[in-house]
Structure 1
Amino acid sequence: MDDLKAFATGGAKILDSQTGDLNADGQTDALLVLDPPSTANHKLGEGPARDVVLLVRDSSGQLKKFASNDRIVPCATCGGISGDPFGYTRLEPGQFTIVNGGGGREHWADEYTFKYSAEKKDWLIARVVRRVEDRDTGKQQRIELTAKELGAVTFGHFDPSTLPEVELP
């Protein structure tokens, strides 16, 4: 059994871990969401973001860190009154999805899907779904962006802050 805790360094804790064949090579890889150590009491909406780490097997069968991104999963207090905005991760052969959400009356949710490109030997953003709903009025808005609109952006370089916001009408 792999020791995924060995990849949670500097006092970080594993918030979520999923295993599966991330690059469609027949071997079991891993995706980690790491929660950094809390250094102080942060105000609502402030604090360190979480680090999402891709671990792939090398030729000897050992898991190695391939890439990471600390811009996808917001801080523990960044979900508004809904609390922690991290939702979940989902793995399928050759791809993975990360879901976040939060807010209060206006609840938001973001879903990011990355697919492995054998040509680039990396994961590229393939789909983004952003939603917002007014829980009192029931009004909703949603945008969906595909790889065509997003371009060939790798997991390690993906920054959700560059995407259009979804706003209620």
Structure 2
Amino acid sequence: MAKEMSMRQGLCITTLFASCIWLTACVTSPSIGEENIVRLAIKEASVVMKVSGDADGDGDDDVLLIIDRERSDGSRPRGLLIFLRGPDGSLTEALDSPHAILCRACGGMMGDPLESLSAAKGELKLRFEGGSRELWSSEYSFDYMPGNKQWRLVSIVHHGLDRLEGRSVERRQDLSRADTVFLERFDPADYPADAIP
């Protein structure tokens, strides 16, 4: 009887150990981990755009998501999520910027203004376009600052084109290190592409 109980305990311990190894493999597997991260991130939201790129400049591909969040009042604010990839391939949420993406209707007659999102070597770029007679585009560039683990706005480029007159304008603003506009609290509506003067 004692021998049979000890065999059962041994079998239970072996099964428990094997289950732990299997669960650890699932959690640390980059592909399964990435799917789970995305699933958690879009709870009560939908993915508008998913981009891979080196957002923090460490040489591996991180994951950037632009999402629509569903609100009970019917509004659908869009935000930016960044997940950094660790040495083991796992992803960790590094940024949730709830106002970084213009709304679907903010492009005027041109519709959704979201044109592109890219990340490479610690630099991140957001581009929006819109207008009707006067077309506009705005590109916002951010650099990753490893010291405080944030992305800082470093430049803004606005383009304008009057389609009727054929007149175009480009304005570029480079921000100094003293300007600490971080992506986490960034809102492109604070830096609009003004109409052509």
Q: TM-score range by the shorter chain?
A: 0.7 to 0.9
Is residue 6 from structure 1 mapped to residue 40 from structure 2 by the alignment? yes
1:76 CA drift (Å): 1.3
Residue matched to 1:44: none
Could you list the runs of 5+ residues in structure 2 that have no partner in the other structure?
1-30
Residue matched to 1:62: 90
SS at match of 2:189: helix
SS at match of 2:100: strand
2:59 to 19, 26, 35: 26
1:153 CA drift (Å): 1.7
Does structure 1 retain, via aligned residues, the 8 Å contact 2:154–2:174? yes
State percent identity of aligned pairs: 26
Q: Deviations over 1:71-123 (max 9, x none)?
A: 23211122111111111111211111111111111111111111111222211
Aligned runs of 1:96-111 on 2, under 5 Å?
A: 96-111=124-139
- TM-score normalised by the chain length of structure 2: 0.72
Aligned runs of 1:42-121 on 2, under 5 Å?
A: 47-58=75-86, 61-121=89-149
Q: Deviations over 1:132-156 (max 9, x none)?
A: 2111111222221112288122110
Instruction: Say what the alpha-carbon RMSD is for the aligned residues.
Output: 2.4
Rounded to whole Å, the distance in 1 between the matches of 2:113 and 2:178 is 23
**Number of matched residues?**
163
1:59 CA drift (Å): 6.3
Could you list the runs of 5+ residues in structure 1 that have no partner in the other structure?
42-46
Rounded to whole Å, the distance in 1 between the matches of 2:62 and 2:180 is 23
Rounded to whole Å, the distance in 1 between the matches of 2:178 and 2:100 is 15
1:127 to 155, 159, 162: 155
Is residue 145 from structure 1 mapped to residue 145 from structure 2 by the alignment? no
**Bigger radius of gyration among the two:** 2
Higher helix proportion: 2
Rounded to whole Å, the distance in 1 between the matches of 2:91 and 2:62 is 7
- TM-score normalised by the chain length of structure 1: 0.83
